[in-house]
């Protein structure tokens, strides 16, 4: 448990919100803590010259709204809430406005951070580390590994960490920033899938399928993929260039039909038939 129960004021050479966001990311990483926005003060819009560019309050992520007593009484729910009182307030002043203030640090250190680093829980323990945000580097690694399935990607990340950290692996594996959980990987995978292949809702999916057919035919410089609606169900027929060549060069290929069917291929319960 940390003992810095009083507020400490720090001046920082940060001139904008984007600089502060970057600083906060590094602070989270180095301190093994995660800070969430508690309150935002909107800048006054009726003033010609804004003196304060940003004013925000942050709380430790372990200070959340506790689960209701009714919910907890029926099942044992792991919660990250410890009603932690660690908090901080940041104010970034605008150095361009002429101020009568005698603040000699204003020009070089326009950001004032008032922080109370008094966590009521341990920071470097598995029970706290498992709630950390997954780091950007880990997200990048996962995206690369999504050429496999999300669960396999997480296993690959774990294998890499095991090889890299050896005996220290159990401590590293408890840190969610480095070792993400499978539900997170699935959410990220779904988000990536949506960005790459479009929405899977009925109307939007059809337009995405049509554009993919068109794109594939253009790339193959031949009509290899056709989309048709039969009984209100979309059917896509694909005949790859290799299949076409087989039909053209092997006479008996047109006289025999092999069929292999599989269903439940994805969340839309699509079927794949090989002829
Ligand atoms: Zn805390």
Question: Residue 189: pLDDT above 90?
Answer: no
Query: What is the number of alpha carbons within 13 Å of residue 113 lying toward its C-beta?
Result: 19
Q: Which residue has the tokens 């004021």?
A: 9
> What is the pTM for the complete model shown?
0.61
Q: Is residue 1 situated within a structural domain? A: no
Distance of CA 60 from the midpoint of ligand 1 (Å) = 5
* pLDDT value, residue 202: 64
Both 118 and 177 in a single domain?
A: no
Query: Cα of 97 to ligand 1 centre, how many Å?
Result: 36
Instruction: Compute the mean pLDDT over every residue in the chain, rounded to the nearest whole number.
Output: 83
Neighbours of ion ligand 1 (CB under 5 A): 60, 62, 84, 86, 119
- Domain assignment present for residue 159? The answer is yes
Continuous segment of H or E residues that includes residue 54: strand 52-60
Q: Are residues 189 and 204 in the same domain?
A: no
Which pLDDT band, with edges at 50, 70 and 90, does 181 fall under?
very high
Q: How many folded domains does the chain comprise?
A: 3
Q: What percent of the chain has pLDDT over 90?
A: 37
Better-scored residue on pLDDT, 27 or 47: 27
Please check whether residue 131 lies inside any domain of the structure: no
> Is 128 contained in some domain?
no
* Ligand 1 centroid distance, CA of 124 (Å): 11
For residue 147, what are the domain limits?
136-196
Whether 269 is in a domain gets the answer yes
Asked whether the predicted pLDDT for residue 57 surpasses 80, the reply is yes
Domain closes at, from 173, 196, 219: 196
Ligand 1 centre to CA of 120 (Å) is 6
Gap from CA of 243 to ligand 1 centroid (Å): 61
Asked whether residue 82 falls in the same domain as residue 176, the answer is no
Question: What average pLDDT does range 206-215 have in this prediction?
Answer: 84
Last residue of a domain, one of 157, 174, 196: 196
Domain boundary among 78, 95, 123: 123
Distance 118 CA to ligand 1 centre (A): 7
The predicted structure's pLDDT at residue 2: 45
Residue 129 located in a structural domain: no
User: Measured in angstroms, how far is the CA atom of residue 212 from the centroid of ligand 1?
Assistant: 48
CA of 84 to the centre of ligand 1 (A): 5
Mean pLDDT of all residues in 89-106: 80
Q: How many angstroms is it from 12 CA to the middle of ligand 1?
A: 22
Residues 6+ apart with CB under 8 A from 48: none
SS3 per residue for 155-203: HHHHHHHHHHHHHHHHHHHCCCCCCCCHHHHHHHHHHHHHHHHCCCCHH
**Bigger pLDDT: 93 or 66?**
93
Tens digits of residue pLDDT in 110-130: 999 999 999 999 998 888 899
Alpha helices per DSSP H over the chain: 17-31, 69-74, 126-129, 136-145, 150-165, 169-173, 182-197, 202-220, 241-249
Integer Cα distance of 32 and 62 in angstroms: 13
Residues 73 and 165 occupy one common structural domain? no
Q: Which residue has the higher pLDDT, 3 or 13?
A: 13
Q: From ligand 1's centre to the CA of 160, what distance in Å?
A: 30
C-alpha of residue 189 to centroid of ligand 1, in Å: 30
Instruction: Give the tens place of pLDDT for each residue, 211-246.
Output: 888 989 999 888 999 988 888 788 888 888 888 888
227 and 264 in a single domain? The answer is yes
Task: Report whether 57 contacts 37 (CB < 8 A).
Answer: yes
Both 252 and 156 in one domain: the answer is: no
For residues 190 and 208, membership in a common domain is answered with no
Indicate whether 25 belongs to any domain.
Answer: yes
> pLDDT tens digits, residue range 67-92?
554 455 555 666 788 899 999 999 99
Do both 38 and 111 map to the same domain?
yes
If one compares 103 and 173, the residue with the highest pLDDT of the two is 173
* Contact of 177 with 135, CB cutoff 8 Å: yes
């Amino acid at each position: 448990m940390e003992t810095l129960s009083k507020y400490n004021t720090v001046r920082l050479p940060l001139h904008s919100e984007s600089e502060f966001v970057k600083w906060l990311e590094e602070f989270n990483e180095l301190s093994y803590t995660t800070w969430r926005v508690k309150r935002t003060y909107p800048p006054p819009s009726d003033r010609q010259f804004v003196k304060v560019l940003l004013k925000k309050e942050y709380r430790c992520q372990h200070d959340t709204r506790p689960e209701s007593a009714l919910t907890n009484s029926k099942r044992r729910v792991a919660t990250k809430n410890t009603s932690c009182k660690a908090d901080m307030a940041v104010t970034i002043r605008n150095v361009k406005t002429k101020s009568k203030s005698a603040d000699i640090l204003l020009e070089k250190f326009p950001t004032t951070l008032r922080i109370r680093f008094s966590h009521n829980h341990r920071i470097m323990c598995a029970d706290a580390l498992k709630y950390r945000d997954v780091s950007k580097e880990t997200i990048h690694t996962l995206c690369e590994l999504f050429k496999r399935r999300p669960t396999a990607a997480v296993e690959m990340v774990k294998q890499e960490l095991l090889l890299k950290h050896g005996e220290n692996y159990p401590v590293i594996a408890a840190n969610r920033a480095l070792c993400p959980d499978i539900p997170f990987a699935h959410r990220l995978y779904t988000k990536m899938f949506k960005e790459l292949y479009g929405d899977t809702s009925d109307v939007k999916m059809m337009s995405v399928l049509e554009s993919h057919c068109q794109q594939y035919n253009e790339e193959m410089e031949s009509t290899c993929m056709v989309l048709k609606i039969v009984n209100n169900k979309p059917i896509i027929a694909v005949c790859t260039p290799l299949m076409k060549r087989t039909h053209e060069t092997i006479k008996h290929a047109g006289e025999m039909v092999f069929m292999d069917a599989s269903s439940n291929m994805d969340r839309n319960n699509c079927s794949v038939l090989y002829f």
